[in-house]
Amino acid sequence: MKISCDKNVLLEGINIVQKAVSPKSTMPILEGILLEASDNLKLVGSDLDLGIECYLSAFVEEEGAVVLNARIFGEIVRRLPDDVVYIEVLENYNTNIKCGNTEFNIMGINPIEFPELPKVQKENTIIITQDKLRSMIRQTIFAVGTKESKIILTGSCLELDGNEINMVSVDGYRLALRKEILDSVYEKQSIVIPGKTLNELAKIIKEEEKKISLHISPKHVLFEFDECRIVSRLLEGEFLNYKHIIPKEYQLRVKVKVKPMIEAIERCALIILSDTQKHPIIISIGTDVINISCRTQTGTVYDSLDAETYGSDLQIGFNYKYLLEALKACECEEVYMEFNTSLSPCVIKPIEGDSFTHLILPVRF
């Protein structure tokens, strides 16, 4: 293999596929990036659960392939001057990398051992814009579970029904639901995508109205956009029946400005050093006012915000991190916070429409 490629183009491709590479694996080849040159240059990273392919514009003098350690290859290219990078694979996959006055020789691996990415038929396909999908992920990823004992909750459920698409995450303490309307109508179905996949996808796709295709098979989902293909396994099992968890009525509704609320919670959190479950922040709601306080061994803190309140007074405790993450994911200036009792969930909704719903369980104090 003998190719040349612009350094910045190559680095962008490495940064994308590296998100699927295992930093430590029992299979050394999975710690590498596959470089395959034919009409153009293809880079591939995989950890067997997640695979990413990226196609780059390059001049191919000789076709071929090699697997290079992702960390070493990435660091080399990152530190090369902004110029054309020349890569040549020699005998026994020894690989020569030149750029300007700099030259490296590193050992590569026979690419025949690199696992092929799963084939996904393009028969069940959903089309959505990148900015919509990115927003859906960002507004729900914070509530994805981390407990290996509940594997199904370590992913987000993607639901389709007609022209409506929902993404929902639940971790047992909170819930995040995001809705969007699609341009086409699809048959009713649902899949559960691993949180890791969605987290990495959100870093790659752009905040623009370009289309992204989701091809769904029984065990995998393929995301296809620009010059990238991302293949992920799906989580098997039945997702939590979350709809009955969300309260349909409320006794108290508060209209609050998101930024001042976030800032007040962050100030109160300064005295919480650890063990947040034992040191909740206390939200006391009166007529057109929200008081936020906390008491720990470090000391006490008190803050107050103006708000529009509709209903009876209430005092309720929360894990401050859960409340902060829900508010930061709202992507709007004002929200409604809805309550029933001090032991029932708080529901956060937009002022207009129902594009998102965030639910947080309270903490006893």
pTM of the model: 0.94
Instruction: Output the CA torsion sign for 311, 308, 271, 333.
Output: positive
pLDDT of residue 23: 85
- Cβ-proximal residues to 337 (8 Å cutoff; 6+ apart), any chain: 253, 254, 256, 346, 347, 348
Residues facing residue 347 across a β-bridge:
338, 359
DSSP 276: T
pLDDT of residue 25: 84
Q: Per this entry, what is the length of the chain?
A: 365
Contact between 282 and 296 under an 8 Å Cβ cutoff? The reply is no
Tell me what the mean pLDDT of segment 213-231 comes to: 97
Residue 243 burial (CB count, 10 A): 9
pLDDT of residue 351: 97
Assigned superfamily of 2-113: DNA Polymerase III, subunit A, domain 2 (3.10.150.10)
Q: Is the pLDDT of residue 26 over 90?
A: no
Confidence of residue 258 (pLDDT cuts 50, 70, 90): very high
- Cβ-based burial of 122 (10 A; exposed 0-12, middle 13-18, buried ≥19): exposed
Distance CA 128, CA 244 (A): 28
Specify whether the backbone of 311 is left (phi greater than 0), alpha (psi in -120 to 50) or beta. Answer: left
Residue 339 burial (CB count, 10 A): 22
Distance CA 156, CA 161 (A): 16
Contact between 168 and 155 under an 8 Å Cβ cutoff? The reply is no
Strands 102-107 and 41-46: unpaired
Tell me what the mean pLDDT of segment 63-73 comes to: 98
pLDDT of residue 277: 54
Hey, what are 158's tokens?
């993607």
Percent of the chain with pLDDT over 90: 92
Confidence of residue 345 (pLDDT cuts 50, 70, 90): very high
Kindly report the backbone phi and psi dihedral angles of residue 209, in degrees, each rounded to the nearest multiple of 5, phi listed first. -90, 20
Percent of the chain with pLDDT over 70: 99
What architecture (CATH level 2) is domain 125-244?
A: Roll (3.10)
DSSP 93: G
Kindly report the backbone phi and psi dihedral angles of residue 280, in degrees, each rounded to the nearest multiple of 5, phi listed first. -75, 160
Q: Where in the chain is the domain with CATH 3.10.150.10?
A: 2-113, 125-244, 252-360
Kindly report the backbone phi and psi dihedral angles of residue 355, in degrees, each rounded to the nearest multiple of 5, phi listed first. -65, -30
> Would you identify the CATH topology of the domain 252-360?
DNA Polymerase III; Chain A, domain 2 (3.10.150)
Distance CA 200, CA 329 (A): 17
* Beta strand residue intervals within 195-324, DSSP E: 211-216, 220-225, 228-233, 252-257, 281-286, 289-295, 300-306, 308-311, 314-318
Q: Is the pLDDT of residue 216 over 70?
A: yes
